[in-house]
A and B are shown apart, each in its own frame.
Chain A
Amino acid sequence: MMDWQKRLLDDFQRDFPLSPTPYQDIAERLGVTEAEVIGALSDLQDRRFVSRIGAVIPPNQIGVSTLAAMAVPEAQLPTIAEFINGFPEVNHNYEREHRLNLWFVAVASDAEHLQAVIARIERHTNFAVLQLPLLDDFFIDLGFKLDWRHV
């Protein structure tokens, strides 16, 4: 990755221009052309170095959500994960090293809908779902300082 491409990732995690021609504005700041910026962003997205370009929304702005944890036997984990991932309400699902080894986030339009999803997961899997909804967000989100060694 070239230096200006690293700066593209470092400098525009916040203050992405809200102007008619943001890619042109970025290009001017980096000393390259608009086409190069668009090409680089497209390439970085294709190579999955950039997950997306867009608005970062604080949690719970749209609908009601919860972090949920389950303890499931290793052998059943793939099947249960697949079942859970089938819900459009589930947007993240991670396997973690812990007795509680399956962690997912479910988002729904209202609390009733969210509880219906959790109840269906519990009924289908026969395992309890521990609900850990957000009570407070302490993070001052300014983006993330990237370390460019060993990329």
Chain B
Amino acid sequence: MDDTDRRLMRASQAGLPLTPEPYQTLAEQLCLSKDEVMQRLTAMQEQGLIRRIAAVPNHYRLGYRFNGMTVWEVPDERIDELGLKVGQLPFVSHCYHRPRHLPEWPYNLFAMVHGKTQAEAEAQIRQIADLLGAHNRGHDVLYSTKILKKTGFRSGQSAG
């Protein structure tokens, strides 16, 4: 990835223009050719530097009011296998391995769930618990009560 890729990544992440030829518009903003913009975006997608190009829906606005950060304590030696299983559940939007901070924070697996009702979110959490089975040594769910800041620049996402 070179500087041009980085500039293009930032610009395309911030938003594709709503013009008939958005990649041409982007190219003009970055002093590149349209072909170069499209080639670089294709290459970055193939390399996994860009995950996808998308119209990104605003879940909260579409009625998903119960957004829970579920956190699980699972054995470190099983986390890759378990994380991949949880990450594949259709209602999980992010699934990450993060460090524990003992004693106050024992959880090492994070999965974001989204429900339109509390019951729906709880059913999703039960499904994760069932999938983890005896490997689940404890879990918690932290619902968001207020979005205090959310900017368009998402390279850290709810990720970090």
Q: Which A residues form the contact surface with B (CB < 8 A)?
A: 8-9, 12-16, 18-24, 34, 38, 41-42, 44, 47-63, 65-69, 81, 84-85, 90-98, 100, 102-107, 130, 132-147, 149-151
The answer to whether A95 and B156 touch across the interface, beta carbons within 8 angstroms, is: no
Q: How far is the CA of A38 from the CA of B129 in the complex (A)?
A: 43
Contact with A along B2-24 (1 / 0, CB 8 A): 00001001101111101111111
Given contacts A65-B155, A92-B157, contact A55 B53 (CB under 8 A): yes
Chain B interface mostly helix, strand, loop or mixed?
A: mixed
How many chain-B residues does the 8 Å CB contact rule pick out? 79
Q: How far is the CA of A130 from the CA of B105 in the complex (A)?
A: 9
Decide if B119 is an interface residue (CB 8 Å cutoff). no
Residues of A within 8 A of B6 (CB): 62
**Which 4 A-B pairs rank lowest in CB-CB distance, beginning with the nearest?**
A67-B160, A59-B159, A138-B83, A138-B87
Q: How far is the CA of A13 from the CA of B97 in the complex (A)?
A: 25
The answer to whether B90 and A96 touch across the interface, beta carbons within 8 angstroms, is: no
> Smallest CB-CB separation from A130: which chain B residue?
B101
Q: Which B residues form the contact surface with A (CB < 8 A)?
A: 6, 9-10, 12-16, 18-24, 34, 38, 41-42, 44-45, 48-59, 61-63, 69, 79-80, 83-84, 86-88, 90-99, 101, 104-105, 114, 116, 140, 142-160
Q: How far is the CA of A6 from the CA of B16 in the complex (A)?
A: 20
The answer to whether B155 and A14 touch across the interface, beta carbons within 8 angstroms, is: no
The answer to whether A18 and B38 touch across the interface, beta carbons within 8 angstroms, is: yes
The answer to whether A132 and B34 touch across the interface, beta carbons within 8 angstroms, is: no
The answer to whether A57 and B98 touch across the interface, beta carbons within 8 angstroms, is: no
Residues of B within 8 A of A55 (CB): 9, 12-13, 41, 44, 50-53
> Smallest CB-CB separation from B14: which chain A residue?
A54
The answer to whether A12 and B55 touch across the interface, beta carbons within 8 angstroms, is: yes
Q: How far is the CA of A79 from the CA of B44 in the complex (A)?
A: 40
Residues of A within 8 A of B59 (CB): 144
Residues of A within 8 A of B61 (CB): 47-49
Residues of B within 8 A of A22 (CB): 16, 22-23
Choice from A58, A63, A151 contacting B62 with Cβ under 8 Å: A151
Nearest Cβ on chain A to B92's Cβ, whole angstroms: 7
The answer to whether B160 and A13 touch across the interface, beta carbons within 8 angstroms, is: no
The answer to whether B41 and A18 touch across the interface, beta carbons within 8 angstroms, is: yes
Can you pick out 15 interface pairs between chain A and chain B where the beta carbons lie within 8 Å of each other?
A15-B52, A38-B20, A49-B58, A54-B15, A56-B51, A84-B148, A91-B149, A94-B147, A97-B145, A103-B69, A132-B101, A133-B99, A134-B97, A135-B97, A138-B97
